[in-house]
Amino acid sequence: MRKLAYTVLTGLVGAVFLHLAIIFLIPVLAGGRTYAALAPIAGETADALVFAPPRLSGETPSDPAETPLPTVSGNDPFFASRVCAFDLSAGSFRVTSDDAPNFFSVAVLDDRDRVVFSLVDRLALDNRVDLEVLAKAEEGRRRQRQQAGLADPGEALPVFAARDQGLVVVRAFVPDATYAESVDAFLRGITCETIAFGAS
Amino acid sequence: MIRALNTVLSLVIALVLGALSAAVALDRWPQMAGGRSGAWLEAPGIGDPEADPYSAALAQTRLQLPMGEVESSTFIAVADDGGQPLDAACAYRVTGGALPARLFTLRAEGITGEPLVASNQDGPALPPMIHSENMLFAGDGFELTLSAQAAPGNWLPLRSQGRFRLVLSAYDAALSDATFGTSAQLPSIVRLGCADA
């Protein structure tokens, strides 16, 4: 009887360890599932990666030749999104847009799907997206330039990322179908470009 | 022989209970972790770098684009104020005050987040979603009816079957996530009646 109790107790302790191992290892092993799925198709030269609100724009993409996008869950159907992937090993990454037709927000995610920076249009200048994602190592250099008065006042909002790879997600509000076209144009018009070291 | 059997039994207990408890914990985590305000649960902080290990693991179980704290706060209700699960066979009244946010959206969706599918052909398949800019406000507050039958004022069509959930997303909320759900009055959800009652 005592042996059986010991066996069950050992099993329970093992179960606790396995439970914790699974929970703690999922984020490490999965390592950014969304980033892994979207980065290969969200390169700066690839076609605009735009998630349209499915329930406003119809069930099927207008262009059947368009690459089918992976299904992303949890999105608010009143919002359309544009995703750009960045790699800071070659330089900084600048994202710019024209005037937004309505409310928009921006999130910078790292390659582990964690939000490292976010803003809403109220905090953006001139109702436009204009930000530059830089490696954390650039932070000191950038600050020195600012202190030395060398920074251009018109330069993009700097975002310092601890990890080199990630995604920039711009979301725009589509209040009704009449906005679909202008929001689509706004998102597709967003420029995502890598600025090679030494070019700025 | 007995020792070997004991070892096998220990391993089986550890594997079965360990894996099962992890699966159940991830499945129930949104109900267990989120702050509660009336019928509403705050959605776990997907994408939050400071997220607890369970939320971080949950985030990796599906493909999604997380939002930053500054962008949005999301609340989910799976039951009405009386604690009864939300059922598309019933009609509900949602009453709320002005939320401290730039805009908010309210939508009904399946219990795991899938779009609701209209179960009959009574009228056009209107999506069960509304936002603060196309909503009628009386004074500081709003009143909204969720039902299969069209209702005057703000109406969210419920033309599906079975259980559903309500998702409230507040954008550019004036208060941080930590205080939003508690200090702001989230809407009340009152059951008006059920078709099969």
Domain boundaries, chain B: 1-33, 37-45+71-194
ipTM: 0.84
Q: Return the pLDDT at A76.
A: 86
If you average pLDDT over residues B80-98, what whole number do you get?
91
Mutation for testing the A interface, residue in B16, B63, B105 having most A CBs under 10 Å: B63
pLDDT in tens, B1-12: 778 888 898 999
Q: Return the pLDDT at B188.
A: 92
CB distance B73 to B42 below 8 Å: yes
pLDDT per residue, tens digit, chain A (200 aa), is 788 888 889 999 999 999 999 998 888 887 788 888 888 877 654 455 677 665 444 444 444 444 456 667 778 888 888 889 999 988 899 999 999 999 999 999 998 888 999 999 888 888 899 999 998 888 887 777 777 776 666 678 889 998 999 999 999 999 888 888 888 889 888 999 888 876 65
pLDDT more than 70, % of chain B:
85
Q: Which amino acid is at B195?
A: A
pLDDT more than 90, % of chain B:
32
Quote the pTM value.
0.84
- The whole-angstrom separation of Cα B197 and Cα B184 is 34
Q: Return the pLDDT at A109.
A: 92
- β partners of residue A169: A83, A107
Q: Return the pLDDT at B118.
A: 65
Q: Return the pLDDT at A20.
A: 93
Higher-pLDDT residue of A51, B80? B80
Mutation for testing the A interface, residue in B28, B65, B102, B168 having most A CBs under 10 Å: B65
Structural fold of domain B37-45+71-194: Jelly Rolls (2.60.120)
Of B89, B86, B159, which Cα lies nearest the Cα of B129?
B159
- The whole-angstrom separation of Cα A139 and Cα A22 is 36
List the 5-64 stretch of A: residues with Cβ below 8 A of B.
6-8, 10-19, 21-24, 26-27, 30, 32-34, 37, 51, 54-56
Q: What are phi and psi of B195, to 5 degrees?
A: -65, -35
Report chain A residues whose CB lies below 8 A from the CB of B9: 7-8, 11
DSSP characters over A76-124: -TTEEEEEEEEETTSEEEEEE----SS-EEEEEEETTS-EEEEEEGGGS
